[in-house]
Amino acid sequence: MIGRKLGLIAVAALAVGLVVAAPAAQARKKVVTKTFEVGVGAPGGGVPIPIPDGAGQATQLARSFIHVKGLNPRGKIKHVNVGVRIQHPFAKDIEVYLATPRGVLNLSHDVGGTGNNYGAGPASCAGTFTIFDSNTPTRIDTPGLQAPFAGFFAPIESLNFLSGLGDKKATNAVWTLLVEDDDNTHPAGTLACWFLQLKTTNPR
C-alpha cells in the first residue's frame, strides 16, 4: 500500500513538473526580431551625419555603422528591413547602399522626382522612416514615384539575398549604411537616423 501511494505521489509530482515546464518551453520564441538604431534621438545617442555634396571624382560617401550583437549564434536570418531618415532638398541626388556580411546592396539611387527627403517629420529617429522591405510590392524606383517615401518600399536590390545568413556571421560583422550625393548643383543633406531590423531563428 505504501509503495502504491509513493508511486502515485511520484506520478503526480511528474505531472506538476510537466505543467510547470510547459509554459517555459512555450515562452521560448522560435523566431525573434531585433532592431538596431543609430542617429539623432537613438537610444545610444547620435548626431546628424553630413552627406558630402559632390559628383565625379569629388563624390564621397557618408558612412554610419551598426555593430550587431545579442543574436543566437546557432540561428539564421529570415528577413531584413532597413529604415532611413535623410534630409535632402532633392532626393534624386541621393544613393543609398547597405554593406553587409554578404556584400554591398543597392537600396536606392536617383529616384524621387523633384521631391525632397527620405522619410518625413522630425529629422531624427522620431520621424517617419523610409523603410526598405523586399516583401513590399511598391518598389522605390517605381516610375513617377515622388519623395519623401514615407513608409515601406522594396529596395532596388533585394534584401532577401541575406536570408539564410548565419547569425554568427551577422554578429561578427559591422553593418554599414553608405549614402552618396552624386550631384553638386543642389544643397547638401544629412543622414539623421537609420535602423537595421533582423528577424532570425532562435534554436536551442
Q: What is the pLDDT along the chain (204 residues), one digit of tens a residue?
A: 444 443 433 434 434 343 334 444 435 679 999 999 999 999 988 899 999 987 655 568 899 999 998 899 999 999 999 999 999 999 999 999 999 999 999 999 999 999 999 999 999 999 999 999 999 999 999 999 999 999 999 999 999 999 999 988 888 788 999 999 988 888 899 999 999 999 999 998
What is the pLDDT, as a whole number, of residue 178? 96
Per the listing, cell 527627403 goes with 117
In this structure, the number of other CB atoms found within 10 A of the CB of residue 197 comes to 16
- Spell out the alpha helix ranges (H) of the chain: 2-27, 167-172
Range of the domain at 174: 29-201
Q: Say if 6 falls within a structural domain.
A: no
State the pLDDT at residue 173: 80
Overall domain count for the chain: 1
The whole-number pLDDT of residue 38 equals 97
Burial of 143-170, coded b for 16+ CB within 10 Å and e otherwise, reads: eeeebbbbebbbbbbebeebeebbbebb
Q: Does residue 141 fall inside a structural domain?
A: yes
Task: Confirm whether 136 is domain-assigned.
Answer: yes
What pLDDT was estimated at residue 108? Answer: 98
Q: Is residue 1 part of a domain?
A: no
For residue 55, is it within any domain? Answer: yes
CATH value at residue 196: 2.60.120.260
| pTM across the whole model | 0.84
Phi (first) and psi of residue 8, to 5 degrees: -65, -40
Is residue 47 situated within a structural domain? yes
Quick check: is 165 in a domain? Answer: yes
Does residue 35 sit within a domain? Answer: yes
CA dihedral 108, 113, 118, 121 (to 10 degrees): -170
